[in-house]
Each structure stands twice: as C-alpha cells, then as structure tokens.
Amino acid sequence: MYKLSRCLVLSDICNLEKKLIFKTDRYVSRYNGSDGSDPIKTSQAKPYESISDYYAGKSVFVTGGTGFLGKVLIERLLFNCSDIESIYVLIRGKKGLKSENRLQQMLDVPVFDKLKALKPSALKKIIPIEGDITKPNLDIKTSDEQQLIDNVSVVFHSAATVRFIESFEDIMKINYEGTRKVMDLSKKMKNLQTFLYLSTSFSNANKLVIDEMIYPKPKAIDEVYSFIDNNGDNPKATEDFVNGYPNTYTLSKALCENYIEENHGTMKTIIVRPSIVAPVFKEPLPGWQDSWVAATATFSDIARGLTKVIYGGPNVICDMIPVDYVCNFIIVAGARGNPSDDVIVYNSCSSSSNPISWRRAADLYLKESLRHGKYELKPRQVELTTSKLKVDLLTLVLQTTPSFLADLWMRLKGESPKYLKMQERPVLLRDLLRFFTSTSYHIKSENSRKLIETLDERDKFLFPCDPRTIPWQTYMPLFCRGIQKYLLKPKH
C-alpha cells in the first residue's frame, strides 16, 4: 500500500541503511561463494579475455528479443562481437505472423539501421525460434529444441510482461511460469556456461535499501495461486496482498528471483536488475526508444502539458539507466560469467553512483521540449507533492478545469470535445507510478561497479555501461528529442 512515509530523501537513507545492516549481514553468506569468497573478486584475479573474444564461436539464446531491451541486446551483440556464431531468438507467432515474419518486422526498426548499413552479413546470424514461454516446453519444435540444446553457451532470458495493469494471473503465467520453462530448457543445454535472467531493481521495492542479493521469498507460491483463484483482480484485495510492493509485476519478479535461487541447480546463474530503462544514450542510435514506459511517458506527458502534478518531492531520486548501458552490461556479465555456484546479482542502475532527481530530470526534459516541441497544450514546470489531497486539488485546478472549459468551448463551436478524455491516460499513469516517483530508493551497485572495473579501456569504449559516465544535462535533452522523433512522430 502506498504510504506517504515512503518518501525519503537520500540523507534519510543513510540512517536507515545503518539499521538494516544487521538484516543484510544475515544474507551475505548466501551471496558469497560456497567457500565464503567473493565471486567477483576471485574472478578478478584472473586476466580476462576481451568481451568479443569470449563470444567468438559461441551461440546464445535470447528470449524477449523483440522487446525494447532485446532489440538493443541483439544489435549490440552482432555489432561488437563480430565472431559470435549465432543468436537464437525466441519469437512467438502474433497477429497471424510467424516468427520469421516478425523477425523481418523487427529488423525494420531504426535501431538496426547502422548494423544493416555497416555489417549487413551479421544479420544472418539471427535464427528465429518460434515459441511461447507460456506454453508447455515453450511450444518449440523438437528440431529447434535440439539445436538449442546442442549449441547454446549463454541464455539471456528477458521475455516478460512489464505491463503493470496486466491481470495478476497473466503476470504470473508469463513472468513466473515462463521463467520456470526457460530454465527447464536451459538445464538441458550441453554447453551452457551462463544463464542470465533480467529482473528489475524494483523486485524488492518494498525495501528502501536494495542490495545486490536475493531477499527472502515474499510469498509462498501456493499462497499466490490460491489468492489469484479466490480474488481474481480485485484491486483492494490485491493491494493488501502485495503488502508493500508497488504492484503485482514487481512481486512476480521477486518470486522469479527466489525460484531461480532455489532451482538453478548446477547452472551458473546471473541476475541483472536494471532500474527504469531509458532511451539509448550512445550506440547504436542516440535517443531511440520504442515503448511508452514509466519515465518516458511521465516526462513526455509533462512536456506536452498533459501532466502538471505528480506524486513526489524535490529531492526524490529517479533511478534510470539508458537501454544501451543495460544491454552492454548484460553482454559483459554474460562474458565474465559466474565462477561461483551461487547466483550473482547485479543492480544496473544510476542512483548509487550518479543520482538525478525526478525534479531535475523533468525540468531538463521540459527545457529541451520547449525548444523543439510544438504541442497543443501549454506545459509548465511540474508540481511535486506527496499529499494526495494536494495532488487532487492541483489536478482539479491545473488539469481538469482547463480541460473542461476547453471542451465547453469546442462544443460551443460545434466540435467534438477531447480535452477531458486526453487527461484520462496521464492521470492513470501518474497514479500507477506514484510509488516510484515518490520513493528515493537506495539501490546498491557494488557488484556491478566491480564487474565494470574488470573491463580494459577498449571494452569500456565498446561496451559503455558505467552509470557514472552519464552526463544528465546532455542525456535528458537527447532523451526528449528521441521521444519526439521515435515515439511521437509516425513510426519509420
């Protein structure tokens, strides 16, 4: 349940962190290698091969390859790891299209333009595998399954639903059951070196300090299914059930992490947890983004004059990370592997090393938008408040009343009203994100920092993933121009 007391600024967090140290210590031994050693430190002692050398001659399996992260992951692997053998991509049939057609559609997206122009032959390395993670055995052909079993060295499991408004049942079916099925297949792979799961930094969003460790299971799985059977999607019952989690999506990701920890068996397993994933910063296409998620829609709604108030405070941190940084990080983590038998967790995020507040991010975005965007409604600097009463009042004064009057004027002119209708989605989004916009999480990233330190200068250049190198005052204008170009304008 949303609580105003969750709105903490970073200074409060330091105190809180001290109180939590005792709790965290109890799990340190679970994170460390079975001999008590630090798996990342241990592996640092060895000299590393370059990232592209690691992937040379190897094949990888990507789920969720048609998604926002998946496309950048595939593009970066093909662009920078020229000698990779094959990328098998699980693609479900959709809207009458088979996986081959969907792959062609995917390659028409501008994020692949550079690869197509400079390394066209690399595209032949993508092998579509028709399948669906909600179906038994992923519904893949026996011959395809055998190819995967014989050839794959690294699995990147990214497929999921990230829609907060999806039914709890479907979220569990895709995220939890889907992960079980992808793991079952991965366990059969003869040459598997790493199973890498894409979670989220907010899989433990019921905590304010989020360490790179797997926390105790939030719910027994039987309890979850019995809740779904008895309550369906009753909003009040669900809010009580998730008990401190922002939504059922984040809870499902926590349950996946626990499942993975308990069932990875002998698979060397890595969990990467990105925070809010934002448009490409550097390569292959600065500003590129293909879906309206979290921060993207919020900043855009503010800049288009649709949102004038959000839940939050002046110093609440917006933990975001560009999608190319996340994908480069995943590629690096896959190459470095996990020498220990325990699951390694990496938070791929910015708040602990290079924080930016929602206030500053929104202001930088708005400033750029005012230079380029031409929208119907007049935007203004967004108001941030933790008080529901103030949010409701400001919404009434700044959004609803002007929309009502504008609609009245349209009716008087004999035109169809539209402004009140335009308010519905941004208000829903603002409420769905209130947990994230009003909570300053302290997401630790020590493991990630150590991993990035293993890169030499060339690989740091080819696979930029260090959040400290994001200059927000440059990135936010680029973010804004990317949204205007790739999401607000007709798709290419």
263 binding ligand NAP? (CB under 6 A): no
Give CA–CA dist 133/173, Å, rounded: 9
**Binders of ligand NAP among 269-298, rule CB under 6 A?**
274, 276-277, 291, 293-294
210 binding ligand NAP? (CB under 6 A): no
362 binding ligand NAP? (CB under 6 A): no
Tokens 């009140």 sit at which residue?
A: 420
For ligand NAP, the closer of residues 309 and 327 by Cβ is 327
| CB within 8 Å of 447: residues ≥ 6 apart | 40, 212, 344, 345, 346, 347
159 binding ligand NAP? (CB under 6 A): yes
358 binding ligand NAP? (CB under 6 A): no
CA 116, 62, 44, 456: dihedral to nearest 10 degrees? 10
Across the strands, what pairs with 166?
A: none
Q: Minimum CB separation from ligand NAP for residue 352, in Å?
A: 16
Q: Which two tokens stand for residue 20?
A: 């939590």
101 binding ligand NAP? (CB under 6 A): no
Q: Minimum CB separation from ligand NAP for residue 257, in Å?
A: 11
Stretch (H or E) spanning 269? strand 269-274
**Binders of ligand NAP among 292-331, rule CB under 6 A?**
293-294
For ligand NAP, the closer of residues 158 and 369 by Cβ is 158
98 binding ligand NAP? (CB under 6 A): no
Q: Do 318 and 361 contact (CB within 8 A), yes or no? A: yes
For ligand NAP, the closer of residues 197 and 419 by Cβ is 197
Q: Minimum CB separation from ligand NAP for residue 404, in Å?
A: 34
Size of the site for ligand NAP (CB under 6 A): 29
76 binding ligand NAP? (CB under 6 A): no
Q: Which of 43, 59, 66, 194 binds ligand NAP (CB under 6 A)?
A: 66
DSSP string, 5-37: GG---HHHHHHHHHHHHHHHHHHHHHHS-TTS-
Stretch (H or E) spanning 211? none
Q: Do 247 and 166 contact (CB within 8 A), yes or no? A: no
Q: Minimum CB separation from ligand NAP for residue 63, in Å?
A: 6
Amino acid identity of residue 48, one-letter, is Y
**Binders of ligand NAP among 442-481, rule CB under 6 A?**
none
Choose one: 46-54, 65-73, 298-306, 329-337; the region binding ligand NAP (CB under 6 A): 65-73
Q: Minimum CB separation from ligand NAP for residue 484, in Å?
A: 20
**Binders of ligand NAP among 224-253, rule CB under 6 A?**
none
69 binding ligand NAP? (CB under 6 A): yes
Q: Which of 32, 50, 86, 134 binds ligand NAP (CB under 6 A)?
A: 134
Choose one: 52-60, 90-98, 111-119, 338-346; the region binding ligand NAP (CB under 6 A): 90-98
Q: Which two tokens stand for residue 294?
A: 């979290």
For ligand NAP, the closer of residues 97 and 398 by Cβ is 97
Spell out the long-range contacts of 369-375 with Cβ–Cβ below 8 A and sequence spacing 24 or more.
Answer: 369/303, 369/304, 369/480, 369/484, 370/303, 372/480, 372/481, 372/484, 373/303, 373/304, 373/480, 373/484, 375/303, 375/304, 375/305
Q: Which two tokens stand for residue 369?
A: 């938008």
Return the axis-axis angle of helices 178-188 and 248-263, rounded to nearest 10°.
30
CA distances from 25 to 254, 348, 420, 442, 448 (A): 20, 22, 52, 17, 19
160 binding ligand NAP? (CB under 6 A): yes
181 binding ligand NAP? (CB under 6 A): no
For ligand NAP, the closer of residues 80 and 203 by Cβ is 203
For ligand NAP, the closer of residues 52 and 63 by Cβ is 63
DSSP string, 271-309: EEEE-EEE--SSSSSTT---S--HHHHHHHHHHTTS--E
End-to-end CA distance of the chain: 41
70 binding ligand NAP? (CB under 6 A): yes
Q: Minimum CB separation from ligand NAP for residue 10, in Å?
A: 21
Q: Which residue number places its CB atom closest to ligand NAP?
A: 67
Choose one: 67-75, 220-228, 400-408, 416-424; the region binding ligand NAP (CB under 6 A): 67-75
Interacting residue ranges for ligand NAP, rule: CB under 6 A: 63-70, 90, 92, 94, 132-134, 158-162, 174, 178, 198, 200, 274, 276-277, 291, 293-294
